[in-house]
Amino acid sequence: MTALPFLLLILAVVAGYVVNRRAARLIRDGGNRLHSMTSYHGIFSALLILVPVLTFTLLWLVFQGPIIDRITMASLPEGVLDGLDSGGVQLVLAEIKSVSRGQVFGTPEDWKIAAADRFVMLHDRADWWLVVAVCILSLGLLAFARSRVAADFRARQGVEGIVSGLMIFCSTVAIFTTVGIIVSLSYETMRFFDRVPVADFLFGLNWEPQIPLREDQIAAEGAFGWLPVILGTIVITVVALIVAVPVGLFSAIYLNEFAPKRLRSVVKPVLEILAGVPTVVYGFFAILVVAPAIRNFGQSLGLDVAPNTALAAGGVMGIMLIPFISSFADDALSAVPQAMRDGALGLGSTRGEMMTTVLFPAALPGIVGGVLLAVSRAIGETMIVVMAAGLMAKMTINPLDSVTTVTVQIVTLLIGDTSFDNPKTLAAFALGMMLFLVTLIINIFALRIVRKYREAYD
Amino acid sequence: MNDMRKIERDANMTDTKITARGVNVYYGDTHAIKDVNIEITDKTVTAFIGPSGCGKSTFLRCLNRMNDTIDICRVTGEIRIDDQDINHKSVDPVQLRAQVGMVFQKPNPFPKSIYDNIAYGPRIHGLAKSKVELDEIVEKSLRRGAIWDEVKDRLDEPGTGLSGGQQQRLCIARAIATEPEVLLMDEPCSALDPIATAQVEELIDELHRDYSVVIVTHSMQQAARVSQKTAFFHLGNLVEFNDTSEIFTNPTDTRTESYITGRIG
Ligand SMILES: Nc1ncnc2c1ncn2[C@@H]1O[C@H](COP(=O)(O)OP(=O)(O)OP(=O)(O)O)[C@@H](O)[C@H]1O
Ligand SMILES: [Mg+2]
């Protein structure tokens, strides 16, 4: 049933294409010079039908459910909903829906059965109305498009207009999504700050997100100071960068300038595969291999090493970031014009001197941009740290200690009992908001640096 | 072969700086330079002319082994500078390039300050023992590059911010700063307007008192103006090499004649 409108739409689109192209051909064969090629006339008609009708159908399908829900609930007999809170009303609706699907438990009241019948009938009717609407709309547009066919009709510009409109839409999807994320995050964050003072969150040194389970349980007041958590993130990020930046840069420099072609053609794809390894797998690697190794090594030196060290999590995260940094640096180095290399070599510098004195400085903005993007990835990385970092928030910068990160805390806060009206769960949104802000600031920095120096060579 | 003997006679009158014998260059399977013999005299300007794709740049790049940097490029034959075989394995191409400077078709200043652009060569070759000495080298090179007056107050500004003609003179000054013995120029004026071209030509005329200059050019007038010797290349062959005045007034080969009169090329 839901497939029918789409089938009709496809038919109409094909028909529009064929009809308009034929019409244009007839005009051309009649000896007139067409402004646009015949296929543009066809595509114009096809797009003119496809875009509005598809949009219309999708919107209809999105709104059909909620609207029918409302009509059903509004037409219930007087008084049956009295005394119910919003949860209760939802429950009634759910019951009506399950009855309408034929899943009857116990003996529902008569008015519920009647409502279920009405619900089914409304849906059937809506489906038919949709088919009718699609038909009328498609035919109308088909006729309209056909009426436009003429020797001097600018079908190509029409097509270009529609396509560029589509492209504008696609390129703004990400922006709207981001805005939506910010709005929903800020809403929940505001609710969190209603319960916990902003200053406590921003400057508190304790992170113990418990809440009283019963009203009278005063002892378990939570503490929501995010500093130890963000400190943990910073420690792990720094460890990751200490691993990733030098290794990534040197591998990029080597591959870009010094490696024989054959080696490059092997190593580059392998590095890219490394970038495709799922982070869960890195997490395994961290807990099964790296963490025990660090612990054993540390103990053999007589050091006190925690089982979940920041070093293990950060180190493995660093390995994850190596391909990221090296491919960015490689791109940046490759983008330096050949003329710069020729100039340096022509003045008698060795390849090494050329790299350190000309290529690297010229590529620096791109490299810095890549590193900063890697930083935001490290800050936002979740799986590796959930598996390999600790849970307890500590004010420490010792990489051999166990620390927790913002992302780990968000995950643990939202796992299990999640009612969205206590500070414990809402704290996750506040943390998410801060994470978002921090990475946003770093990204803005990255973009600025890249943009500022981009025109350095030309 | 007639003209070859004539060249040798002429060359005896002054010092020969560069001698090429039986030079062949291949890009993979493309035979870009075919058995070229030439003797380039010291302290003269030698112009390479010829239609596009005939191998002028390729041959020029043989003289400082810049072709080494192209993977698929293979050079055979013998090239001597001051009786040293530059392709001999005892010769370090890096040192050779300090000795044989090069200016490219498109101005390519580094994205560094004007000062650092000039100081680049002296720094990597350790030509200056102190900051004062380096300052002197920079000033001297910029003066010789006929650009000192324009940039003396803005040595800290990026070299990329100069105009095209200024950039090219900066690149010439940069090449001079390493005190080369030979200066190779690959169409140095092709990106410049007539005024900047005139400045660069004047500069070339100035330079040939101390260096041998080899210049590739597409402009017959330019070759006639600045060079004492002219070599005409065609399809990878060195067709004719003689005094510039001879080439332009009395070419011996019909291909040369057609080219300079504008019938091929
Ligand atoms: N890097 C390269 N790889 C492959 N072939 C090349 C390369 N450089 C030059 N060639 C080939 O060698 C031949 C000579 O080229 P070259 O650049 O020396 O010509 P040119 O005389 O300098 O021409 P122009 O006046 O257009 O600069 C051409 O056929 C060209 O296709
Ligand atoms: Mg050339």
- For B161, the closest chain A residue by CA position comes to A456
Is the dihedral angle over the CA atoms B242, B41, B107, B150 positive or is it negative?
negative
A165 — pLDDT class (breaks 50, 70, 90)? very high
ipTM (interface predicted TM): 0.86
State mean pLDDT over B48-56.
Answer: 93
Q: Which CATH number fits domain A223-457: 3.30.1490.440, 3.20.20.70, 1.10.3720.10, 1.20.140.10?
A: 1.10.3720.10
Between A75 and A125, where is the model more confident? A125
The protein residue with its alpha carbon nearest to ligand 1, atom 7, reads B27
State mean pLDDT over B74-97.
Answer: 91
The protein residue with its alpha carbon nearest to ligand 1, atom 11, reads B32
Distance separating alpha carbons of residues A141 and A8, to the nearest angstrom: 13
State mean pLDDT over A10-36.
Answer: 91
Strands B229-234 and B45-49: parallel
Between B36 and A224, where is the model more confident? B36
State mean pLDDT over A120-140.
Answer: 93
Distance separating alpha carbons of residues A122 and A376, to the nearest angstrom: 50
Distance separating alpha carbons of residues A45 and A142, to the nearest angstrom: 7
Question: Residue B233: nearest ligand to its CA?
Answer: 1
State mean pLDDT over A11-34.
Answer: 92
Q: By C-alpha distance, which of A166, A148, A171 is closest to A40?
A: A148
Task: Determine which of B86, B110, B163, B171 to mutate to test the interface with A (most A C-beta atoms within 10 Å).
Answer: B110
Task: Give the mean pLDDT of chain B.
Answer: 88
Q: By C-alpha distance, which of B169, B179, B229 is closest to B203?
A: B169
Say how many Å lie between the CA of residue B218 and the centre of ligand 2. 9
Cβ-based interface (< 8 Å): residues of A facing B: 261, 337, 339-350, 353, 357-358, 361-362, 456-458
Query: Does the beta carbon of B178 lie under 8 angstroms from any beta carbon of chain A?
Result: yes
Q: Which two tokens stand for residue A144?
A: 């309209």
Query: Does the beta carbon of B86 lie under 8 angstroms from any beta carbon of chain A?
Result: no
Instruction: Give the pLDDT of residue B1.
Output: 42
What DSSP state is assigned to residue B14?
A: S
- B50 by DSSP, 3-state: which? coil
- The answer to whether the CB of A307 falls within 8 A of the CB of B77 is no
Contact between A347 and B101 using a beta-carbon 8 Å cutoff: yes
Query: Does the beta carbon of B64 lie under 8 angstroms from any beta carbon of chain A?
Result: yes
Which residue spans within A185-248 are E strands per DSSP?
207-208, 223-224
The protein residue with its alpha carbon nearest to ligand 1, atom 12, reads B32
Contact between A456 and B160 using a beta-carbon 8 Å cutoff: yes
What is the distance in angstroms between the Cα of B97 and the nearest Cα belonging to chain A?
5
Q: Chain A contacts of B121, Cβ < 8 Å? A: 347-348
Question: Residue B218: nearest ligand to its CA?
Answer: 1
Give the ligand 1 atom nearest the CA of B59: 18
Query: Does the beta carbon of B79 lie under 8 angstroms from any beta carbon of chain A?
Result: no
Task: Report the residue among B25, B26, B27 best suited for mutation to probe ligand 1: largest number of ligand atoms under 8 A from its CB.
Answer: B27
Strands B73-81 and B16-27: antiparallel
Dihedral angle computed from the Cα positions of residues B246, B247, B248 and B251, in that order, rounded to the nearest 10 degrees: 100
Quick one: how far is CA A30 from the chain centroid?
A: 54
Give the ligand 1 atom nearest the CA of B51: 25
Question: Which residues have CB under 6 Å of ligand 1?
Answer: B 27, 30, 32, 50, 52-58, 70
- The answer to whether the CB of B137 falls within 8 A of the CB of B118 is yes
Longest dimension (CA), chain A: 95
Q: Chain B contacts of A366, Cβ < 8 Å? A: none
Q: Report residue B57: phi and psi, to 5°.
A: -60, -40
Contact between B124 and A357 using a beta-carbon 8 Å cutoff: yes
What is the distance in angstroms between the Cα of B40 and the nearest Cα belonging to chain A?
20
Task: Report the residue among B23, B29, B56, B102 best suited for mutation to probe ligand 1: largest number of ligand atoms under 8 A from its CB.
Answer: B56
Contact between A341 and B69 using a beta-carbon 8 Å cutoff: yes
Q: Which two tokens stand for residue A230?
A: 């963000």
Q: Where are the alpha helices (DSSP H) in A149-215?
A: 155-195, 198-203
Distance separating alpha carbons of residues A337 and A316, to the nearest angstrom: 35
Contact between A340 and B97 using a beta-carbon 8 Å cutoff: no
Is the dihedral angle over the CA atoms A435, A440, A442, A446 positive or is it negative?
positive
Instruction: Give the pLDDT of residue B4.
Output: 46
Instruction: Give the pLDDT of residue A206.
Output: 85
A230-242 pLDDT, tens digit per residue, is 999 999 999 999 9
A447 — pLDDT class (breaks 50, 70, 90)? confident
Give the ligand 1 atom nearest the CA of B72: 3
Q: Chain B contacts of A458, Cβ < 8 Å? A: 160
Contact between A347 and B160 using a beta-carbon 8 Å cutoff: no
Q: Chain B contacts of A261, Cβ < 8 Å? A: 71
What is the distance in angstroms between the Cα of A371 and the nearest Cα belonging to chain B?
22
DSSP states of B169-216 as a string?
HHHHHHHHHT--SEEEEESTTTTS-HHHHHHHHHHHHHHTTTSEEEEE
Q: Report residue A418: phi and psi, to 5°.
A: -120, 85
Residue B220 CB coordination number (10 Å): 18
State mean pLDDT over A364-380.
Answer: 87
| Domain parsing of chain A, residue ranges | 3-187, 223-457
Q: Chain A contacts of B125, Cβ < 8 Å? A: 348
Instruction: Give the pLDDT of residue A25.
Output: 92
DSSP states of A18-85 as a string?
HHHHHHHHHHHHTTPPPSS-HHHHHHHHHHHHHHHHHHHHHHHHHHHHHHHHHHHHHTSPTTTTTT--
Q: Which two tokens stand for residue B203?
A: 């500069």
The protein residue with its alpha carbon nearest to ligand 1, atom 5, reads B27
Q: Which domains does chain B have, with CATH numbers?
A: 2-260 (3.40.50.300)
Predicted model pTM: 0.76
- For B106, the closest chain A residue by CA position comes to A339
Contact between A342 and B108 using a beta-carbon 8 Å cutoff: yes
Instruction: Give the pLDDT of residue B243.
Output: 94
State mean pLDDT over B188-210.
Answer: 86
Q: Which two tokens stand for residue A443?
A: 């990204």
Q: Which two tokens stand for residue A182?
A: 């910010």
State mean pLDDT over A388-397.
Answer: 84
Say how many Å lie between the CA of residue A452 and the centre of ligand 1. 36
> Of the ranges A201-210, B181-190, B243-252, which one carries the lowest mean pLDDT score?
A201-210
Contact between A340 and B174 using a beta-carbon 8 Å cutoff: no
CA atoms within 13 A of residue A379's CA, in its CB half-sphere? 23
- The answer to whether the CB of B22 falls within 8 A of the CB of B83 is no
Query: Does the beta carbon of B207 lie under 8 angstroms from any beta carbon of chain A?
Result: no
> Of the ranges A88-97, A177-186, A286-295, which one carries the lowest mean pLDDT score?
A88-97
